[in-house]
Structure 1
Amino acid sequence: MRRRPGNGRWTLSALAAVTAVIALISPEARAAASWLGLHPHPPRLDLILAAAPVIQVHIAGAVVALAIGTVLMIGVKGTGLHKALGWGWVAAMALTAVSSLFIRQINHGAFSFIHLLSGWTIVALPMAIYAIKRGKVAAHRRTMTGLFVGGLIIAGLLTFLPGRLMWTVFLG
Structure 2
Amino acid sequence: MTALATVNAYLNPFHRPAGALDLGPLTRGIVIVAGSAMTTLCVIAIMRGILGLTPDLPHLQNWAIAVHVATVVPCVPLGLYLLLAPKGTPMHKQLGKLWVALMVVTATSTLWIHGLGNFSWIHIFVPMTYRAAWMIITSARARNFKKHRNEIIGLFLGALMIPGIFSFVIDGRLMNVLLLG
State the TM-score, normalized to the length of structure 1: 0.72
Residues 43-122 of structure 1: pairs in structure 2 closer than 5 A: 43-45=48-50, 47=57, 50-104=60-114, 110-122=118-130
Decide which of 126, 144, 147 is 1:139's aligned counterpart: 147
| Conserved? CA contact 1:48–1:56, under 8 Å | no
SS at the partner of 1:168? helix
Long gaps (5+) in structure 1: 22-39
Aligned match of 2:29: 9
**Can you list the C-alpha shifts for 1:75-97, whole angstroms capped at 9, x where unaligned?**
01111111011001011101100
Change (3 A) 1:131 1:111: same
Residue of structure 2 equivalent to 1:25: none
Counterpart of 2:176 in structure 1 is 167
TM superposition shift of 1:4: 6.5
Indicate conservation of the 8 Å contact 2:31/2:80, yes or no: no
Do the aligned partners of residues 159 and 132 (structure 1) sit closer, same or farther apart at CA in structure 2, a change above 3 Å counting?
same
- How far off is 1:59 after superposition? 0.2
The superposition leaves residues 34-79 of structure 1 with CA deviations (integer Å, 9 ceiling, x where unpaired) of xxxxxx9x62355277431111110010012112111101101111
Residue identity opposite 1:114 in structure 2: I
Q: Determine if contact 1:117/1:151 at 8 Å carries over to the other structure.
A: yes
**C-alpha spacing 1:150/1:169, structure 2 compared with 1 (3 Å):** same
Q: Aligned pairs, how many?
A: 147
Q: What is the one-letter code of the residue matched to 2:173?
A: R
CA contact (8 A) 2:48 2:179 kept: yes
| Amino acid corresponding to residue 155 of structure 1 in structure 2 | P
Any stretches of 5+ residues in structure 2 without a counterpart? 1-18, 51-55
**Residues 6 and 74, structure 1, Cα contact 8 Å, conserved in 2:** no
Give the TM-score, by structure 2 length: 0.69
